[in-house]
Amino acid sequence: MKKLLSLVLALAMCLTLVSFASAETVEEVIAQAQNMTLEELFQKAIEESNGKRFDAVGNSSRGKSVLPIFVEELQKINPGYTLDYEGGWQQPKENKIFDQLTEDVNGANHVMSMTLIQDGNQIQSKMLDTGLLLNFVPKDWQEAEGVAKEGNETPLALQTLNKVFMFNNLGEKTYTNMWDFVRDGEAPLFMGVNSELVGKNFLYMMTNDKYATIAKEAYEVWEGRNPEDDALIEDMKLDAEDLGLTGENVQYGLAWVYLWCEKYNEETDDGPICNTLVTTSAKDQAGLLVYSKLRSVEETAESSVNNITVAAYQDGYVGIGGYAYKHYLMLTKTSPLPWTSCALIAYMTTTQDGFKAWGKDMGGYAPVPACMQDHSHDGGDEFPAKNDRGYDWWINEGKLVVEEPAYCASVSGTMSDWIDGIVAGK
């Protein structure tokens, strides 16, 4: 028995050492890769993965469309290069991507090489803090002209996507202030806070003093404010204290979140929200939804992009125009093909062809300007709401609330239940 026990313990130790060595190897690859050009990474990918199987997992199904053109790029260097990727890009449903990655890294058989993933809160707490995912920043990305590094570097963002306030303009109501969307009688259309968790992250971020201050400034000039709203904001000081939230103006952000959760009308997806808002029968309805949904509106007698107004595009609009979430690219700690993953990530984040699957639509912005296509005239004079004003405008003038993984993770423990309680009680 003692010999058997010793053998088992020795085997366990070997497996632990192998796992540790594997993790170290991926980290060493990343350290070297961050000093290489895209062309150099292509060569390393060819050496590593020619004729092999590549698997990845992503929140966006568009990832699978990048793989064939990536292979074509490598074949320009080595015409005999092949990569087995058919069915290799998986897209888990119902937020199961975190479980899948955890099981893959901690399991005995490591399949997933990299991921395209969203939801900064869970990325921080479940993937980064645990070391299951590793960050890689390409040299060409670091040195790109005009690259937007702040908030996009750790973890590395493939793109920033915006969800913006829109309203049907055929009625009598006006929405010229962020607080108009939470005034009495409103029921803005919105995906439920637990249907798509980036929406919950948006509400977490509203308690960050940067955005709470914007809420305060908008409230102070809001024509619809009343004594009940003043009392709510005062009450939110106590809630903020109970939730462990700090910041000079946090009560304003928290009050807006409270009213939003109390009033929003839950929908299952942004597509139906868009299809509703653009109809002639949706007078005086508003919503918060992905901006790019406007691209697919079919113009009919009953539906038109011209039936809606993007709130922040109005002259004189005050306050936040919506929120931004990101798709991040990272390697798994146990990546079977780390060089190929680094090459693919560099290709996706530093070239227009690599970003084309996402860059073809308005409302999605790459940190490297050279990756982007121009969508400022998508609607022309006929459909001005579709003329995207771009990343810089949306961040600065549109005042998007931008997801920060570390902040979301720091407040979600208390705020999640608080938000759920408001939604459940309405």
pLDDT for res 18 = 38
Q: Spell out where 218-353 has E strands.
A: 265-267, 286-290, 308-310, 322-332
* Cα–Cα distance, 320 to 344 (Å, whole number): 35
Q: Spell out where 76-136 has E strands.
A: 83-84, 89-90, 114-117, 133-134
Residues in the chain: 426
* Cα–Cα distance, 68 to 354 (Å, whole number): 11
Amino acid (1-letter code) at residue 368: V
pLDDT for res 12 = 44
Complete domains list, the chain, with CATH: 2-157+327-371 (3.40.190.10), 160-325+385-425 (3.40.190.10)
User: DSSP alpha helices (H): ranges in 334-425?
Assistant: 338-350, 352-359, 390-396, 405-425
* Cα–Cα distance, 399 to 202 (Å, whole number): 13
301: left (phi over 0), alpha (psi -120 to 50) or beta: alpha
pLDDT digits (tens, 9 = 90+) for 130-170: 999 999 999 999 999 999 999 999 999 999 999 999 999 99
pLDDT for res 8 = 39
Q: Residue 22 pLDDT more than 80? A: no
pLDDT digits (tens, 9 = 90+) for 33-43: 999 999 999 99
Residue 396 CB-density burial (10 A; 0-12 exposed, 13-18 middle, 19+ buried): exposed
DSSP 312: G
